Structure formats: structure tokens, C-alpha cells
Structure 1
Amino acid sequence: MTFHTALSGLHAAQADLNVTAHNIANANTTGFKRSRAEFGDLFPMTAYGIASNAIGSGVKLERVAQQFEQGSINQTNNALDLAIAGEGFFTVSDNGALAYTRAGAFTPNRDGFVENAMGQRLQVFPPVEGSPGQFNTAQLSDLRVQIGESSPRASTTITALTNLPASAAPPTTTPFDATDPTSYNFTRSLTVFDSLGASHNTNLFFVKDSTLNTWTVHTQVDGADVGTGTPVTYGPDGQMTSPANGQIALPLVPLSTGAADLNLTIDMARSTQFGDAFTLTSLSQDGFATGRLTDIEVTAEGIVQARYTNGQSTPLGQLAMANFPSPQNLRQLGDTTWAESFAAGQVQRGTAGSPEFGSIESGALEASNVDLTDQLVNMIIAQRYFQANAQMITTQDQITQTVINMR
């Protein structure tokens, strides 16, 4: 019996060495989780169970348990290198079959789909059409980077946050002439865009009227007057009283480029008339030109956005995170991926940064959680364990030989 007991010890030591060798071999594998060999003792069974004075008959390998503690996070400066700081897994699709991984080295393929080195596509919750900032968490879709250009948007509103001096005097020259600086008090310019993304230089002119607290705002687009000017008035408290809503609707500006006519409104609702200094805190408009893709940004909440040269960003989806009640029981697929199993429990889906999931670090990768020092020490222990069991077999052989040689 001693031979079989010691032989089970040899098998256990060999299994421990195999697990340790596997851990050491993957010490530099991104997202790898080390394993641990767990053993249990063996006792012979009788018809009535295990006798109280039974001698054990060896050891067996109970399971190889994965250890999912956090690995260190290393910066890479590649926006689509993703690391999870905390719990959870990335969800990937292998031709429709879902798998889960902590290895976040992703790149776009030739069609723009974001995938790992095995061709598994990263899964996201898609944006909800017509609801900016909202994502459909009940649906999974492949993350795809839009390689094309960002469409332009025609300007519709010019917002002027300004203070016109109450002490200003009317210009010395009348009527207003954009080419004559003595016919207006102040002017400022900005660029607006048409429906095709072409830019148009726009000038605003502020002319003090002879009537108290009254100004006229003139507008030019590409050097041509737009309308004849709009009067604006202020009350004794310096706040605008007319037009009542502070909105100056300009006549349509026809264009000869094939773009739709410009339909502009000047928003001066927050303008004031105080003191003796002209200030323009901001002058902005809501249009933009065509944009080219510049980079991809991933937030800590896993929101993936495409950024363009026109300053716009388009949400492409939110990373679909997954977790399990018992991750140690996930089925290993190799390539640092896992599949669902009954023992692991029902998959739990959610978003990064929520209580059940860690946050996302873009431009970083999670390293293997293998500690080489621990593994080398464990290798020595397993080696000694193997040698001791081998010595037990040698000792039993000597005893057996002695018994055989007795006369």
C-alpha cells in the first residue's frame, strides 16, 4: 500500500510543478490569472464508511483554482489598450459566441471593428438614437470605429455675451457704413458654417442711437449686409428690454455654393448696458465644418468616443462589462479568455464604474498577476515534495527486499 500512497504523492507533486510551470510561463501574458493546485487526502472506504483508526492512502488533486486578484496596470499610451481597475471582464464575441477576458489589447481591423489578437470583437452597449449620452444596456453590439468624416452642421445661432457702455455717444457719421469706422461704435467678427461645412466670415456692428439706452445691431456675412439692422433697448437697470427674448432673427442669407440658405439668429439675451467700457466675454456659434477622425477616447466609465478635427465627438458605445458570482469556476478557453459555466453562476452585465465593476483605464494594460518569487519558492517546495515521495518508494522497496531475503 505504501507504494501506491507514495505514488499518489509523486503525481500530486508533478501536478503542482505543472501548475507552477504554467504560471511562470505566463508571467508576461497580459491579463493572465495565476492558478493554484489544491489537494485532498485519500482514505479507504469500508461498507460502513471510514474507520476511526484508518490509515490514509495518499493524496489527490482536488482542483486547479484560478486566482483573480488584480494585476499591476502598465501604461502604453495606446487609446485602445484597456485595463480594468477592479472587478469584471471585457465581453468579446467570437463569431457570435461570447467569451470574457481581462486582456485589453484591442485594435481596429480593416473594417473598423475593434478586436483582439484572436479576432474576437469587443462588445459594447450601443448608443440610443436621439438620446445623447444614453446607451441601450439590454443589447450587445460590436464596437466599430467610424473611419469616415464627421458631417458638418450649419450654424443657426450666434451667441453674444457682451456689455455695451451706457456712456457711449452716437457715431459722428451717419448712416451706417461698414467700410467707415466712424459710422459705428464697436465691431467683432466670427466664422459661421453652412450646410455643406463651408465657412463664412460674419461681422457684428454695434451702433449707439441718439435715443437713450438704444443700440442698433448690424450684421454682415462675407461682406454683404444682412437686413438693415435691428434696434435693441435696455432698461434703467442695464438689462435688455427689447427684443423681449433677446433673440434677433436675421433674414435668410442666400448662398451660391449649393448649400442651404443661412438662417441665423443672434442671441443677446444675456447682454447688458453698464458703465463706460465695451466688453465681449464670449462670441460663439453652434455650427461646425466637416471633421476628420483624430483619435479614440475611452472614459473611466467605458464610454468610447470618436474625436474629430472639427472639435466634435461621437459616442460609439459603452463597454459591456461582465462578472460572475464565482469567477474561479469559469471555463477556461485559452488565449486568456473564459466562457460561462453552470458552476460560475449567471452572468451579470453592467457598466464600468458602477458598484459591481471596476473602472476603465485607457492607454494601459493589466499585467499578469504571477509573482515570480512566490512561484520559484513553490517550485522548490514541490521539488522537495517529489523527492520525499520518491525516497518513500525507495525505502519501501528496501523493506520489501529485506522481507524477501529472510530465510
Structure 2
Amino acid sequence: MSFYTSLTGLKNSQTELGVIAHNIANSETNGFKKSTVAFADVIASSNTSDPRMAVGVGSSVESITQNFALGPIEQTGSALDVAINGDGFFTTQSSLTGQTYYTRNGGFTVDPAGYVTDGGTNRLQGFPVDSTGTPTSTTPADIQIPAVNGAGAEFAGVTIAGDGNIVASYADGSTTTVAKIALATFPTPTGLKQVGSSNWQVTGISGAAQYGNPSEGSYGSLLSGAIERSNVDIAEELVGLITAQRNFQANAKAIDTATQIAQTVINLRT
């Protein structure tokens, strides 16, 4: 019995080491959120068992939970780099599959067709606006910057305001508010599914996305020319790494001790 009990401890320590290694490997990944492991004890008992005689038979991984605390904000100076100072996620949609993603990585670019993208095929979603910058719909859509304005002047640059308005400037000196960035929140963000590249997808646990405007209600404001880095604390992860290693060694020692006891019993019988 002690062999299998200690074996569960070894497996759990190995899982924790894997999670910590993943955190450390992504310490420089923009928008990355670290994870932590929670364990639970396993008890061998039944409804008719005396609770005073319950025997522990090891432990199991209860959950691997993401930590959505705000990461450090780094100033980049790039007009299309934007960080969320508070709650919310950027929403992007794949131009190839139509799949919707949510991210905290605000490193955006403009593709040749004028769409604001994450540098790949995922297009940033926002609310269409009128001439005053007021949203005319609550349904997010692709954000596209016109190559020329109504007067025929060519696109010259773009800025993003703290309230999410994307303002395009043109060669004739005029400006046009193209769209307002839509932020999404979730009833249970820890239930979001990680899909890589600092992207998440909605699940039944996270609940449906609730969209709103930056700087309104519970939605965070936007910081233009900045980007949110990983919220991994290397010092904290290294301490956790040492702890997980010690736990692994302790469980391995318990197995070694059980082996010695078993060998002693065998020798007595022979």
C-alpha cells in the first residue's frame, strides 16, 4: 500500500514540476498568465467505515488554476501596442476559420488590407462607431482602417485612446475615428481554455463573453504604446521548483524505506 501511496506523491510532484517549468519557459511571453497546482488527499473509506479508522492512500491533482493577475506594463512606443489596465480581454477572430479567441497580448499590427491583426491571421474585434466615436452596435466586428479617406487622402498613421477609440490620420491632416476596441469579460475567467500564443477560448465553465467599452464599469482602461508582459515571478517560481523537488525526493525516500522494510520481512521468513 505504501508503494502506491508514495507513487501518487511522485506523480503529483512531477505534475507540479511540469507546470512550474511551463511558467518559467513563458516568463518573457507577452500576455501570458501563470498557473498553479492544487492537490487533494485521497481517503479509502465507505459509508459503513469507522471514520476514526479511515486510511489515507495518497493524493491527487485537484486543479491547475490560471492566475489572471495583471502583469508588468512595458512602454514600447508603438502606436498599435496596447495594454489593458484592469479587467478584460481583447477579442480576435481568425480570418481563416472564423474561430474567436481572447487574449491579453496587445501587440497588434495592420495588414495590407487595413485590418488590425495580432500579427497573424486573427483580426482584432471592435464596435463600429459614428463620427463622434459613439458605438452604433454592441456586436463586435473586424476593425479595418480605410487606406484613403472620403477626400481621397492616403492613410498616414493611427492612435489608440484610453477609451478604446482607434483614430486614423490622413495625409491631408484630417482624422477619422474608425472603431472602438471591444473588451470581453467572463463570469469565471479561470475556466477559459488555453490554446497557445497567449490565446484563450470560451468553455462551459468560463461562461459566455460579456462585451463592453474600455474604461466603463468593470472594464479596464487602455494604455497606448505599451504592452502587458507575463505575470510570472521568476523568484517565486524558483522557490516553488525547489519545494516540488524536495517533495519528489521525500516520496522517493518513502518508497526506498518501504522497500527496505519489505526486504527485511522477506529475509526473516527465509
TM-score normalised per structure 1: 0.64
1:3 paired residue number = 3
Cα displacement string for residues 35-69 of structure 1 (whole angstroms, at most 9, x for unaligned residues): 00111000013243673321211110011100000
Q: Within 5 Å, give how 1:96-111 maps onto structure 2.
A: 96-111=98-113
Contact 2:12 2:60 survives alignment (8 Å): yes
2-structure distance, mates of 1:360, 1:125 = 15
Q: Distance in 2 between matches of 1:50 and 1:91?
A: 54
Whole-Å Cα distance in 2 between the matches of residues 298 and 125 of structure 1? 14
Task: Output the CA distance in 2 between the equivalents of 1:314 and 1:88.
Answer: 26
Q: CA RMSD, aligned part only?
A: 1.4
| AA at the equivalent of 2:108 | F
Q: Percent identity?
A: 40
What is the aligned residue count? 267
CA apart distance, 1:354: 0.7
Please give the alpha-carbon distance, in whole angstroms, between the structure 1 residues aligned to 2:74 and 2:61: 35
Q: Counterparts in 2 of 1:78-227, with a 5 A limit?
A: 78-94=78-94, 95-128=97-130, 132-148=132-148, 150-152=149-151
Assess if the C-alpha contact under 8 Å between 2:45 and 2:54 holds in 1.
Answer: no
AA in 2 matched with 1:117: G
Aligned residue in 2 for 1:341: 203
Cross-structure match for 2:19: 19
Render the CA deviation track for 1:143-186: whole Å, top value 9, x for unaligned: 112222x333xxxxxxxxxxxxxxxxxxxxxxxxxxxxxxxxxx
* Residue 43 to residue 364, structure 1, CA distance change in 2 (3 Å): same
CA–CA separation in structure 2 for the residues paired with 1:355 and 1:332: 26
Counterpart residue type for residue 115 of structure 1? T
* CA–CA separation in structure 1 for the residues paired with 2:57 and 2:250: 16
Greater displacement, 104-113 / 9-18: 104-113
Residues 340 and 347 in structure 1, CA contact (< 8 A), matched pair in contact too? yes
Amino acid aligned to 2:99: A
Q: Provide the secondary structure at the position in 1 that maps to 2:168.
A: strand
Paired amino acid for 2:187: P
Distance 1:50 1:352 in 2: 57
TM-score (norm: length of structure 2): 0.95
CA contact (8 A) 1:83 1:364 kept: yes
Contact 1:137 1:350 in 2 (8 A): no
CA displacement 1:14-33 (0-9 Å, x = unmatched): 00100000000000000000
With over 3 angstroms needed to count, the CA separation of the structure-2 counterparts of 1:50 and 1:312, relative to structure 1, is farther
Secondary structure (helix, strand or coil) at the match of 2:44 reads coil
Letter in 1 for 2:267: N
2:180 to 307, 318, 339: 318
CA 1:135 to 1:49, structure 2 compared with 1: closer, same or farther past 3 Å? farther
Alignment of 1:352-371 (within 5 A): 352-371=214-233
Distance of 2:50 and 2:154 partners within structure 1 = 75
Unmatched 5+ residue regions in structure 1? 153-289
Helix, strand or coil for the counterpart of 1:399?
Answer: helix
Q: Partners of 2:156 and 2:18 in 1: how far apart?
A: 47
Specify the alignment match of 2:171 in structure 1: 309
> What is the Cα deviation at residue 111 of structure 1?
1.1
- The 3-state SS of whatever aligns with 1:147 is coil
What is the DSSP-based 3-state SS (H/G/I as helix, E as strand, rest coil) of the residue aligned with 2:55? coil
Q: More helix per residue: 1 or 2?
A: 2
Deviations 1:201-222 (A, max 9, x none): xxxxxxxxxxxxxxxxxxxxxx
